[in-house]
Amino acid sequence: MAFDFSTLGPLANAVEKAGAPILGAAFRAGSTVSTAAPFPLNMVLPVVLNSLADVVGGAADDPAALAEKIGADPNAAVKVQAIEGRHKDDLQSALDFAKLQADQNAAYLAVDMPIWSKIFFAGARPLQMWLTGPLLTLYQIVAATGYAAPLDPSSYAIMAAQYAMLAGARTYEKGVGTASPAPLLPAQVKRILSRKEMK
């Protein structure tokens, strides 16, 4: 089921009024984007929405309707707080990680360094991607001398284009501050991922 996270604003208000501030903060953090909430909220929120829909009634992919049902239910506070309690650890871990990434991105963009270092050396992946094109070309030159089997033109073009697109996308992410310079995952996020794999 696809979730449009940008519609979570009214639901965030409803659960906060029902006494579930952590749940409200998670919905509010997810509502800042359209179809992809910040990782790992994008993994936690659909599970929470399904749980909430089961308790208050309605469809998990219609947050506005869920908000109306919560507002009209005199027992909504008990139900919503129970959902928050059930998912509290995962929600808090996801919020903490999202804040950590935002802080890292802000700190990274604030560092006074040459623009070329931000563009070409935004972690190991972009460096590898930017070098792949020249290395492929070098391989073709060596192959032309007879020391290796050359790539056929179509394969060479496809590989070069793929790496160029990946490098460009990663560079854009770094430029606008949506990609973290640190790929390591905190223990709390690893726990969320392991739970998803077990289900």
Measure CA of the first residue to CA of the last residue in the chain; give whole Å.
16
Q: Which amino acid is at 27?
A: F
143 alpha carbon, distance to own chain's centre: 41
Quick: pLDDT tens for 76-105: 999 999 999 999 998 988 888 878 777 776
Catalogue the E-assigned strands of 74-157.
none
pTM listed for this prediction: 0.53
* All structural domains of the chain with their residue ranges: 5-111, 123-176
What does the pLDDT look like over 99-127, one tens digit per residue?
877 777 666 666 665 655 555 554 445 55
